[in-house]
Amino acid sequence: MAYFHPDGMAMTQKLWGLGTGLIPEDATILDLGCRDGETVRYLREMGYDSYGIDLCPGTDPYLIEGDFCQEHFEPESFDVVIAECSISLCKDAGRVFEQVHRILKETGIFLCSDVYFSPLPGHHAPNLSFEHPAIKQCWQETLLAKGLIPVLFFDETASWKRYYAQQLWDGVHLCSKWGCGSDWEKESRIGYFLMMALRRN
């Protein structure tokens, strides 16, 4: 199984652990950018009512083909929304956060792992799916503007460095996935985080 994030399922489990004690035993969960549904299967094996959405999902019946920038689900229909390295690849992060807020229940949780950039002096970070450069502050401010309150933020950049080196060794150039060109490697340093946000009512 190939993962587009560091440490595979071990990182997924670490991200899920951020919600320990807050996630109901009968939680309904949506995975944004689920790909072939590995995380969804993991959550279903734990007994959760889990679903995934992706432009090109796997064939499991609980995976939905669709753009998660659009309205596919009823308001306040999920206890947890999870996104692993999918927000940075979408068309419009702000629009996605609006949808996350809309479909989360009042006590809902948003779990996210993704990348951020730290520009070198005199340079700018790429915007990715944001209106502004995708630095830590941009993530936090965009979440807050869309009604999601970041309450936990853990830096996992060391894991990202190992993953990035392995991808280069395997002949995979990650900047092509974001469509931001190769100059960012000279102009910014990339980091990786795990984050939990709560829905603001």
Backbone angles phi, psi at 125, to 5 degrees: -80, 155
Fold topology of 8-199? Rossmann fold (3.40.50)
Whether the Cβ atoms of residue 21 and residue 197 lie closer than 8 Å to each other = no
What is the residue extent of each domain of the chain?
Answer: 8-199
What is the spatial order of strands in the sheet that 104-119 belongs to?
A: 63-65, 49-54, 28-32, 78-84, 104-119, 188-199, 148-155
Give the pLDDT of residue 201.
83
* CA 58/CA 52 separation, integer angstroms: 9
Ranges of H-type helices in the chain: 8-17, 38-45, 93-103, 136-145, 157-169, 175-178, 184-187
pLDDT tens readout for residues 117-169: 998 888 888 888 999 999 999 999 999 999 999 999 999 998 877 766 666 55
> How far is CA 21 from its chain centroid?
21
Where the chain has pLDDT below 50, the residues are: 1-3
DSSP labels for 148-190? Answer: EEEEEEEE-HHHHHHHHHHHHHTT--THHHHT--STHHHHEEE
Mean of per-residue pLDDT scores for the chain: 88
3-state secondary structure of 32: strand
pLDDT computed for residue 8 by the predictor: 85
CB contact at 8 A, 106 and 201: yes
Q: What is the pLDDT of residue 1?
A: 39
